[in-house]
Amino acid sequence: MSQLIKRFSITDPFWKRYEDLLSDVVVPYQEAVLRDEVPGAEKSHAIENFRLAADVIKNGKEPGGFYGLVFQDSDVAKWIEAASYSLIRHPDSKLEERIDQVIDTIRDSQHEDGYVNTYFTLKEPGRQWTNLQEAHELYCAGHMIEAAVAYYEATGKTVLLETMKRMADHIYDLFIVRKKPGYSGHPEIELALMRLYRATGDKRYMELSKHLTDVRGQDPDYFVKENAEKGWKIWGMDPELREYAQNQCPVREMTKATGHAVRATYLYTAMADLALSTDDEELKEASERLFKNISEKQMYITGGIGATSNGEAFTTDYDLPNGTVYAETCASIGLIFFARKMLDLKTDGRYSDVMERALYNTVLAGMQLDGKRFFYVNPLEVIPGISGVVPDCRHVLPERPGWYDCACCPPNVARMVGSLAEYAWSVKDGTVFSHLFVGGELDLSDTLGSKIKVETRYPYGETVRYTVEGNPVSLALRIPSWSSTCLLTVDGKKTDVSAEDGYQYIKCKKEAVLYLNMAPRYCYANSMVASDSGKAAVMRGPLVYCAEGTDNGGDVIGLRFKDGGRLESLPLSDDLMGTVKVEAEGFREKTSDELYSSERPKYDPAAITLIPYYSWGNRGKNQMRVWLPVR
Amino acid sequence: MSQLIKRFSITDPFWKRYEDLLSDVVVPYQEAVLRDEVPGAEKSHAIENFRLAADVIKNGKEPGGFYGLVFQDSDVAKWIEAASYSLIRHPDSKLEERIDQVIDTIRDSQHEDGYVNTYFTLKEPGRQWTNLQEAHELYCAGHMIEAAVAYYEATGKTVLLETMKRMADHIYDLFIVRKKPGYSGHPEIELALMRLYRATGDKRYMELSKHLTDVRGQDPDYFVKENAEKGWKIWGMDPELREYAQNQCPVREMTKATGHAVRATYLYTAMADLALSTDDEELKEASERLFKNISEKQMYITGGIGATSNGEAFTTDYDLPNGTVYAETCASIGLIFFARKMLDLKTDGRYSDVMERALYNTVLAGMQLDGKRFFYVNPLEVIPGISGVVPDCRHVLPERPGWYDCACCPPNVARMVGSLAEYAWSVKDGTVFSHLFVGGELDLSDTLGSKIKVETRYPYGETVRYTVEGNPVSLALRIPSWSSTCLLTVDGKKTDVSAEDGYQYIKCKKEAVLYLNMAPRYCYANSMVASDSGKAAVMRGPLVYCAEGTDNGGDVIGLRFKDGGRLESLPLSDDLMGTVKVEAEGFREKTSDELYSSERPKYDPAAITLIPYYSWGNRGKNQMRVWLPVR
């Protein structure tokens, strides 16, 4: 996977800042949290769990001392993965040394049969593999496999890779050789095994991934039976909630995204990956159906998915409430994984558009601009005093907390930012695909004999300039569906844009320049979306905008867009780490004392200041709204 | 209480239908349910519980066989109360005989010390009074006291009254003589004891009511302590949820309505009643604060209260979501009780306006037009496929079920309809107050030497004609705040309406005619109510209207009101048991396939048909919306 990360050095102001933040702040901060060195943050104990487990395995100590959730190990895995990406662009021998030490500890915690998991080593020895529904063993293994592959690809070091190959072999033996029935409660292992297969070339890992994907839902009662037999529990999750766990039917028969949105998208990612790698038409069609259902019926304008906190889950078509929403950061990351694999299956702007939407809005909103605080839930409407307070909105926090007891989102954002190149680019049959517009230099000297330099101030600037050095390049440039007009010059010649499926295929000797339409625009939801009836949102380029109290005299709920009103981009400012705000022509409803009145509301004209959604919640608690009523 | 019920015979088409329904359908149907004779309805077993309990007490049988919730007894109580009101206007010796038999059984289930409660007699003997928080003993006693008073006032029979006086004495002995600490988990006993006091003249019952009200929250940890001691549980409710149980502070210090909305309003009703009866200024101020908070910050336009299903509870100011709402039927009944007592404290149209709003909208919506099915939850927006289905709306049913395992609402609606006269009228110091406009004849021959006949087609007609027979009468006519213009003629002379605090005081010899403004009108919520931003609702007279799919080609979510658009009352039709529909000028958004689009939505002009909210959900599952966006 990290081949493109190595080849692509990011230079544009927007992403360079994030990349530096990853190395300077996020990775060290998350390491400190994992080592329990951040005062005030939730206790993690995740690295200490491995140390204690190594003591059990290596030194024969008594099991005990586990702290955290059953999937605490995965926090270490995701941090190693993010740190691996960071090391590629920001070599740091001390960090690498510390990671090596952690990896040695992980290796030392491995059982003789290859098994790695601190929860079962320390807290529930002997109960391995008896609770696939709840215990996240395959999930933790999957994340550590991803970490192992990333660290190997970044550094060439194989300790963690060998460790996790042994774990994968253990799982292979269990499910393939010894034919244990069942599948993972939380998908992740399936996509991780595909990465391991590609890193090692060992087809058994693909076989195992395919097995764990295909066996899912073949017996929709598997968790019910497991539950009846196991005699212990972690949370006591209901095994009958099949849609929650995506085991209501075999994956090939699925027509609608259901259940826990992170589990769902991780599963769908593996399905799309397997569809391509095994050339499986049925799996491809199922993946396409699921992608279509999400992107056309169950996705917020911000690329958020999972409308309810109850199960952190998809609900049903067009049910997209703004204030009680879940839209977990990790779920949008999962959606990006899924979209990226769909893009490998078929080059189509529908996939890159969704990838971009989720990345620039929900995923970036998941992290405070300084990289230190994180959102789990990404609401489209926040009212302090209600959000985070009343029961139905208790999960909707108006400010990012520093860490979570269930800390899946922060390191997930970190690894997404760190591997951006893999989403921005792909190379296939000699054609270089530019999926996302990120400034930097892509070095393909060894394969195509070319370097491609990209200069842009995206997502704020409208120009994306590709300069080719060396051999001419076949380029496929994504033409975003949101850019109503696009100009393109190739080697100085104006070229008609007639993007097939969202991509413009060109041959470029020296320079191609793409001019996107960056005029801010109103967006409207489908009339079936009850929560957005009569409302509009504003977008500019890939960015969804929102109104925040700070810029609008405190009150945002009383603001209305003027129907067809003027939208104006303000000059790029240093505010919010560099942003283009948008001003919208609108109104402010005059306040009154009465709860209900038959007097027509009065309005004052108001210039509404909008900021990019990803930057909300960086200036203290205040009202925020993406969808404003139009009058 | 039932003095006015006896004096007032209803004749107008609207309420006469409901009164007849009560006697012909609701009371017999509910009796059949309580006797488990309705196929398909939830099992009740409530009368059988009393029979089994009588067997234990009278015949020394072994305890056992209880079925239902801990407050199952109260269903019988509320049915007896409703039936008592029915008997006043529709004498029915067979029904009376059957009630007498049930009452004999209740009496036979009474312990020697006066205790009556089938749950503890059959299921938890020996655990009486150890779980005030959950066990609803005082609640059930309260409802049976209300039933006893009602049946006594309707028939003059004293068996149940004597039985419940003994139970009240038992409670008096417990809390006053033996000074047991604590208070009821679910208020109700407090208001019931005030009725018992008025029916019997025994001041100890008022003393006990005052004690149980005033002691509440003096020790906010009472339930915590009880919980630590009791060693058993019913649901295991969290004793720390003080606001839920209204014991966060002494009642006199309360400033904001909190917690379970039915519990809250029952408590506030007793507070207002005690404030008047004991001339307690502090309690009066507290009641007024709480009423103001509800009616100015936490009430739906339909008079529904309790914004969240989580605890069936109040949340916070201006949090009034339409689709995830709770707005329990019983809570609006509680609000009417509260408003009625406030009206006794001070004659002010603010109270009667709220009473009318809750009665004509939420309470009536609680019952199907045929009297056989009931809503517990009263949403302001329903989308089949989402409402009743997705987790956050699972409680929002798009159709009325026949009965509930927790069957508080159906008999509560019945007793409200049956005692309408008590809310429509009051007489104080020789003045007759007309609070609600109900056609019929009020016979005050024995006290004022007059009869007052009211002719009206309210809530549809605009004229209310009072005809006086006998002595001239001092009348205080309510002038609803919603009627922007009012004409009044008194004995043929046009009279200026200058209603003080919502009431017009007149002296009438023969005839007074009030002409209300029944033009349909748009209503707007306070700009702080985020759920209603940019929307309007339509009212006509006291009725809130809504758009239902059946009248509007299925889709309601795509409808928009035209800003300042024409509203027209359609002729009174037989539809929906006799109704005036309203047609609003508006638009229908054209459907599109895209989930989000930057194309401005297109609209077709549309005549929107609106029906009274109380009549929604009588024609099968379909979309429904009270608040429509305005464009």
Please give the Cα distance from A597 to A599 (Å, whole number).
5
Work out whether strand A473-478 and strand A431-434 pair parallel, antiparallel, or are unpaired: parallel
- Catalytic entry in B137, B146, B312, B548: B312
B498 neighbors A527 (Cβ within 8 angstroms):
no
Residue A217, pLDDT score: 96
- Of the pLDDT bands very low, low, confident and very high (cuts 50, 70, 90), residue B408 is low
What tokens does B359 get?
């009665």
Please give the Cα distance from A151 to A96 (Å, whole number).
10
- What is the mean predicted confidence (pLDDT) over A397-407? 72
Q: Which residues of B touch A316 (CB under 8 A)?
A: 385-386, 389-390
Whether A392 and B630 lie within 8 Å, measured CB to CB:
no
Residue A544's H or E segment, with its range, is: strand A543-548
- Of the pLDDT bands very low, low, confident and very high (cuts 50, 70, 90), residue A237 is very high
Residue B409, pLDDT score: 67
Whether A310 and B521 lie within 8 Å, measured CB to CB:
no
C-alpha angle A114-A119-A120 in degrees, rounded to nearest 5: 55
In this predicted structure, the answer to whether residue A39 has a pLDDT above a threshold of 90 is no
Please give the Cα distance from A219 to A248 (Å, whole number).
8
Whether B324 and A321 lie within 8 Å, measured CB to CB:
yes
Closest chain B C-alpha to A509 CA, distance in angstroms: 35
Nearest to A564 among B324, B595, B600 (CB): B600
B450 neighbors B70 (Cβ within 8 angstroms):
no
Which of B596, B624, B626 to substitute to test the interface with A, most A CBs within 10 Å? B596
- What is the mean predicted confidence (pLDDT) over A586-597? 96
- What is the value of pTM for the model shown? 0.95
Q: Which domains does chain A have, with CATH numbers?
A: 4-425 (1.50.10), 429-516 (2.60.420), 521-629 (no CATH)
B140 neighbors B76 (Cβ within 8 angstroms):
no
Residue A409, pLDDT score: 67
State yes or no: is B282 an active-site residue. no
In this predicted structure, the answer to whether residue A368 has a pLDDT above a threshold of 50 is yes
Residue B407, pLDDT score: 60
Task: For residue A204, count CB atoms less than 10 angstroms from its CB and return exposed for 0-12, middle for 13-18, buried for 19 or more.
Answer: middle
Q: What totals of helices (H) and strands (E) does chain B contain, helices first?
A: 19, 22
The number of beta carbons lying within 10 Å of the beta carbon of residue A136 is 25
For the CA atoms of A411, A417, A421, A422, the dihedral, rounded to the nearest 10 degrees, stands at 40
State yes or no: is B312 an active-site residue. yes
Of residues B457, B473, B476, B477, the one with CA closest to residue B510: B473
Nearest residue in chain A measured CA to CA from B484 = A598
The number of beta carbons lying within 10 Å of the beta carbon of residue B233 is 12
Closest chain A C-alpha to B529 CA, distance in angstroms: 8
B462 neighbors B481 (Cβ within 8 angstroms):
no
Hey, what amino acid is at B172? Y
- Catalytic entry in B140, B408, B409, B508: B408
Whether B595 and A323 lie within 8 Å, measured CB to CB:
no
In this predicted structure, the answer to whether residue A584 has a pLDDT above a threshold of 50 is yes
Please give the Cα distance from A463 to A541 (Å, whole number).
11
In this predicted structure, the answer to whether residue A2 has a pLDDT above a threshold of 70 is no
In this predicted structure, the answer to whether residue A419 has a pLDDT above a threshold of 90 is yes
Interface pTM (ipTM) of the complex? 0.95
pLDDT tens, residue by residue, B79-125: 999 999 999 989 999 999 999 999 999 999 999 999 999 999 999 99
- What is the mean predicted confidence (pLDDT) over A332-342? 98
- What is the mean predicted confidence (pLDDT) over B248-262? 97
Residue B222, pLDDT score: 97
Determine the straight-line distance between the first and last CA of chain B, rounded to whole angstroms. 49
Nearest residue in chain A measured CA to CA from B325 = A392
Transcribe B24-76 into DSSP letters.
IIIHHHHHHHHTT-STTSPP--HHHHHHHHHHHHHH-PPS----S-TTTHHHH
* Residues of A with active-site annotation: 312, 408
Residue A1, pLDDT score: 41
In this predicted structure, the answer to whether residue A535 has a pLDDT above a threshold of 50 is yes
Closest chain B C-alpha to A349 CA, distance in angstroms: 15
**Higher pLDDT among residues B587 and B403, named by residue:** B587
Please give the Cα distance from B496 to A89 (Å, whole number).
85
For residue B470, what are the contacts with CB-CB under 8 A and spacing of at least 6? B445, B448, B449, B450, B451
> Mapped to the 3 state alphabet, what secondary structure does A552-620 carry?
CCCCCCCEEECCCCCEEECCCECHHHCECCEEEEEEEECCCCCCEECCCCCEEEEEEEEEEHHHCCCCC
Percent pLDDT > 70 in chain B is 98
- What is the mean predicted confidence (pLDDT) over B10-24? 93
- What is the mean predicted confidence (pLDDT) over A556-585? 96
Q: Which residues of B570-585 are buried (b: 16+ CB within 10 A; e: fewer)?
A: eeeeeebeebbbbbbb
Residue A397 φ then ψ, to 5°: -80, 135
- What is the mean predicted confidence (pLDDT) over B584-605? 96
Residue B1, pLDDT score: 41
Mean pLDDT score of chain B: 95
What tokens does A604 get?
């004052």
**Higher pLDDT among residues A40 and B526, named by residue:** B526
- What is the mean predicted confidence (pLDDT) over B559-574? 96
Closest chain B C-alpha to A13 CA, distance in angstroms: 28
In this predicted structure, the answer to whether residue A406 has a pLDDT above a threshold of 60 is no
- What is the mean predicted confidence (pLDDT) over A93-102? 98
Residue A388, pLDDT score: 94
